[in-house]
Amino acid sequence: MFKLVETVQPRFSETDALGHINNTVVPVWFEAARTPIFKIFTPDLDPKQWKLIIAKIEVEFKGELFYGENVELRTAIERIGTSSYVIVQQAWQHGECCAEGRTVMVRYDFAAKSSVALSAEERAGLGAYLLLD
């Protein structure tokens, strides 16, 4: 079960020449839906205090998404590692999962240019969003 669910209304400008939601839009929607998770690390979302980097993003397109109909974005934590975690996300429209993505995020020290182990508080915050079967 996904713990974070939000709905977006696709904008006309997000369509392509074929009338679908452009494939570049879904990763942007997924990023916006990750905001509650980002706040675990930077509650005020101040980019000067940012503590995360993206190590990998993948999106599998499973069906078409269309303008004029709401899209439900589902977000959860799939796995928590030592200094990284995996976010799984889905985009649903008309009762169908149309896209699924995974993002590997790494807790990062920008001054030292290295990964940092997740703190107990960060792990607990992430744990609140763990994917449940």
- pLDDT tens across 60-87, in order? 999 999 999 999 999 999 999 999 999 9
Where does the pLDDT of residue 120 fall: very low under 50, low under 70, confident under 90, or very high at 90 and above?
very high
Global confidence as pTM: 0.94
Residue 133 pLDDT > 80: no
Strands (DSSP E) contained in 13-70 are 52-61
pLDDT interval class at 19 (50, 70, 90): confident
Q: Is the pLDDT of residue 103 over 90?
A: yes
pLDDT mean over 20-31: 96
Phi, psi of 87 (to 5 degrees): -100, 130
Nearest-angstrom CA–CA distance, 125 and 106: 15
Assigned CATH topology for domain 4-127? Thiol Ester Dehydrase; Chain A (3.10.129)
**What does the alpha-carbon distance between residue 124 and residue 48 come to, in Å, rounded to a whole number?**
24
Confidence of residue 24 (pLDDT cuts 50, 70, 90): very high
Residue 1 binned pLDDT confidence (cut-offs 50, 70, 90): confident
Q: What is the pLDDT of residue 50?
A: 97
Q: Quote the strand ranges of the chain, DSSP E.
A: 4-8, 52-61, 71-80, 84-93, 96-109, 114-115
Element (H, E) at 91: strand 84-93
Residue 106 has pLDDT above 90, yes or no: yes
Convert the pLDDT of each residue in 36-62 to its tens digit. 999 999 999 999 999 999 999 999 999
